[in-house]
Amino acid sequence: MTEPRIRRPRTAAPVRPGASARTRATRATAGDPFFRHLVTSLRNGVIAVTNDGRVAAVNAPAYRILGLEPSPQDTGRAVSALLAGEPELARVLTRASEGGHLPNRVELRLKSSGRVIGYTLSEVNDEQGTRVGTVMFFKDLTRVEQLEERERLRDRLATLGEMAAAIAHEVKNPLAGIEVMAGVLKRQLSDSREAQATLNDIIHECKLANAIVVEVLEFVRPIRLEMEQHVALGPVLREAVTLASATAHPGKIAVSVDVPADLPEVPGDPNQLRQLFTNLLMNAFEAMEGRGSVAIRVSLARAEDEGEQDQVVIDVQDDGPGISPDVADRVFNPFFTTKPKGTGLGLSIVRKVVDAHDGHIDLRMPPGGGTCFKVSLPATSQ
Ligand SMILES: Nc1ncnc2c1ncn2[C@@H]1O[C@H](COP(=O)(O)OP(=O)(O)O)[C@@H](O)[C@H]1O
Ligand SMILES: [Mg+2]
């Protein structure tokens, strides 16, 4: 498919009425360093290309968003070479620089990182109004997208949650009844070994089903934080280790907790935070099958911009089997599990607690293998 080419007649530059000779004479020229500084100082990503598809300018945010290493040799390179890892983006720019369509406010998912960018393309015209190139302005929308996704999830849960909570409650009672009656039968049939084994299985399955119901309720219940302004993470993390160890037996897994002494506290609900880290640790223990190590490291990330808050960053890293890239973006989805008896709700609850604390959570794959969950929580302002 070829797009209609835009051909502009070479006309004289439109002269602004009232523009005096003096203002024209003092107008900055394209060679003016001010223009370069203007482009490099913009917060949005900027890539400018000439009509022959060569790079005229790339600013630092563009490199950062695209995950490219800046190089002075980039100016003058073919844009398709600079963006070899992002063929879709290269195509949009090349097509535009050939006089094609100039999309406005379009979203595109980057191939290399999965990040979503929003971009706008504009013509670059010289004084005569002749088109000399094309410029793309773009912004990383990942954070915006995450917020929208959370909003959607919250809406879905509001309606779905009520129903699930009602069903879970209804199931809980008969389940307890079955377990009790199985216990009664066990006593009545105390001399039949076969019956004992079967009844033990029934009781075991009842307990499992009950654990699922409890988790579903935990998940769908709207979260109500009992906020405290100064929660010290050290004790919360150590309690989480104790709790997780009691439930998912860690065997020979070594657990280390490293909290700097001068770490600021966080505003939060200590019980919910403990639950959050317990869930992460249980997953680690379950993934590792009794050997390896889990390291919990806490650090402080100072705010980069004014008006932003310092963040306490908690890394929970294990050296287990890791999470394959094709399932990595689904692990936070409710009911996603790779375990035969998993509920797939552990990480959904984690995410819910993190959201309620205005924090965020990322999944990282350490280069040496294993899994790392990075939780950031706003620090208590001092
Ligand atoms: N530390 C980890 N190592 C490997 N896989 C993990 C880890 N944490 C979570 N996962 C994966 O994420 C999935 C979802 O976890 P979760 O929501 O807690 O549900 P569940 O534990 O019931 O499966 C797990 O089934 C597992 O595949
Ligand atoms: Mg789990």
What structural domains does the chain harbor?
21-140 (3.30.450.20), 143-222 (1.10.287), 226-382 (3.30.565.10)
Pocket test for ligand 1, best of 279, 289, 337 (most atoms within 8 A of CB): 337
Give the residue, by CA position, lying nearest to ligand 1 atom 24.
337
Ligand 1 proximity of 83 Cβ (cutoff 6 Å):
no
- Please choose, from the candidates 33, 196, 54, the residue with its C-alpha nearest in 3D space to the C-alpha of residue 124: 54
Q: What is the distance in A from the centroid of ligand 2 to the CA of 211?
A: 12
pLDDT tens for 169-224 read: 889 899 999 999 999 999 999 999 999 999 999 999 999 898 888 888 878 777 88
Q: For the stretch 7-43, what's the b/e string if a residue is b when 16 or more beta carbons lie within 10 angstroms of its beta carbon?
A: eeeeeeeeeeeeeeeeeeeeeeeeeeeeeeeebeeee
Residue 109 alpha carbon to ligand 1 centre in Å: 26
User: CB within 8 A of 89, min separation 6: which ones?
Assistant: 66, 83, 108, 110
Average pLDDT of every residue of the chain = 86
Q: How many residues does the chain have?
A: 382
Question: 331 C-alpha to center of ligand 2: Å?
Answer: 10
Instruction: Summarize pLDDT for 81-110 with one digit per residue, the tens.
Output: 999 999 999 999 988 888 777 877 888 889
CA angle 360, 219, 374 (to 5 degrees): 25
pTM passes above 0.75: no
Mean pLDDT confidence for 289-304: 92
Residue 265: the pLDDT is 95
Note the pLDDT of residue 103.
79
With a 6 A CB cut-off, is 45 part of the ligand 1 pocket? no
Instruction: Tell which atom from ligand 1 comes closest to the C-alpha of 280.
Output: 8
HSE-up of residue 209 (Cα within 13 Å, Cβ side): 18
**Does the pLDDT value for residue 143 go beyond 60?**
yes
pLDDT at 336 over 60: yes
Whether the predicted pLDDT of 233 surpasses 70: yes
CA angle, residues 183, 189, 195, in degrees to nearest 5: 85
- Euclidean distance between CA atoms 240 and 243, whole angstroms: 5
Find the mean pLDDT for residues 322-342: 89
- Tokens 């988790």 correspond to 215
**pLDDT over 70 (residue 295):** yes
Question: What does the alpha-carbon distance between residue 132 and residue 116 come to, in Å, rounded to a whole number?
Answer: 28
